[in-house]
Amino acid sequence: MASQTIEPLAPGAVIGILGGGQLGRMTAIAAAQLGYSSHIYCPEAGAPATQVSAHSTVADYTDQAALAEFAKAVDVVTYEFENVPFVAAETLARHVPVRPSPDILRICQNRLREKDFCRSVEVPTAPYALITRAQDLHERVAEFGRPCILKTAELGYDGKGQVLIGRDSDLDAAWAQMADAAAATGVILEGFIDFRLEISVIVARGLGGARQVYVPVENQHKNHILDQTIVPARVSQRVADKAEGIARHLAEKIDLVGLLAIEMFVTADEQVLVNELAPRPHNSGHWTLDAAVTSQFEQCVRAIAGLPLGATDRLTDAVMKNLLGDEAAGAQAALSDPNVKLHLYGKAEARPGRKMGHTTKLIRR
């Protein structure tokens, strides 16, 4: 990349954030520490991010008039989740820098495009195939073997939008269950990976091409929702180096400006396979708020604002624990341990499985 002078956003500039959840909330707090204000755009009044932001717009993501006014009020736009309709990012990019780019958003919000991109840059994934009819499903299951997983190409998360195909599964019934999704967004079949553990790596890339990578962390799930993240991941140095190399490679090839979180499977023979990409801060990176030199949220703001990236060194080992639903009610009791940090997200209703906050236990050696 040719050398260039990067002019960072001056203090007082406004960071536009699409989405009003906890990731936007923590990004807005980080922006304030760097002298910026935030403007949240989301359809829900009183969303967690709006509680800590100077400005907010409550409107649908497809409201062209509201998007135009939002673009006038901000200096750069980013996302706090990747299911923002592509049309919103594309519309805003005509008027204001959107980082990461709408093209990256488009790749990351569709499993088929995501895996096709990984394949195009020689990054390994599980076997996969687009399924458009029941016959395709029969043929690919015979090829991949059982178990395997039928997934919506878009919008599924935390285990939603998936059908596990086991030894005795009726393939026609599985197809019927996913037929509406196939018509709306498409579905893909993924070969089942007998992985030893799941890890994730978060990489930042700035306007000038500089990259910083956080240590691989180990993710443990309950009911398809992230339960806790162990920092660092319990993997060999060879696996850690491979995972960090994949993250740097993907950030470069996708022309990232901002953050990219990469979920990966590690097999018993130390293969590292990419599972999903997210062009934003990530639940598995919450530990960085308390146990890294630069949090993922500050790093996101630095990258999109044209500031130098911060160091990603780990200050201590840590375990991040999500607080789901009613678990948040007694969360303050965790503070009896002086090495525990508590973060609550300001959500009024504690629904089952809803992420209400998290704790990070710092493990001092």
- What residue segments make up the domains of the chain, in order of their start? 14-108, 127-191, 195-363
Please report where in the chains the tokens 């990578």 appear, as a residue.
Answer: 213
CA distance linking residue 7 with residue 96, whole number of Å: 15
Are residues 303 and 99 in contact, defined by beta-carbon separation less than 8 angstroms? yes
For the domain made up of 195-363, give the CATH fold.
D-amino Acid Aminotransferase; Chain A, domain 1 (3.30.470)
Q: From first to last of the 365 residues of the chain, give the pLDDT tens digit.
A: 344 567 899 999 999 999 999 999 999 999 999 999 999 999 999 999 999 999 999 999 999 999 999 999 999 999 998 889 999 999 999 999 999 999 999 999 999 999 999 999 999 999 999 999 999 999 999 999 999 999 999 876 555 678 999 999 999 999 999 988 888 888 999 999 999 999 999 999 999 999 999 999 999 999 889 999 999 999 999 999 999 999 999 999 999 999 999 999 999 999 999 999 999 999 999 999 999 999 999 999 999 999 999 999 999 999 999 999 999 998 999 999 999 999 999 998 999 999 999 999 999 87
Residue 123, phi then psi, degrees to nearest 5: -105, 125
C-beta separation of 221 from 164 below 8 A: no
Strands 148-152, 187-191: pairing kind: antiparallel
Q: What CATH fold (topology level) applies to the domain 14-108?
A: Rossmann fold (3.40.50)
Cβ-proximal residues to 171 (8 Å cutoff; 6+ apart), any chain: 134, 137, 138, 141, 165
What would the two tokens of residue 341 be?
Answer: 């940090």
Enter the pTM of the model.
Answer: 0.94
Question: Distance between CA 342 and CA 325 in Å, rounded?
Answer: 15
Q: Give the model's pLDDT for residue 1.
A: 39
- In CATH terms, is domain 127-191 a member of 3.30.1490.20? yes
Do 127-191 and 195-363 show the same overall fold?
A: no
Name which of 274, 270, 267, 127 is nearest 194 in CA terms.
Answer: 267
How far is residue 84's CA from residue 42's CA, in Å, rounded to a whole number? 9
Query: Beta strand pairing status for 272-278 and 258-267?
Result: antiparallel
Judge whether 278 and 227 are in contact, CB under 8 Å. no
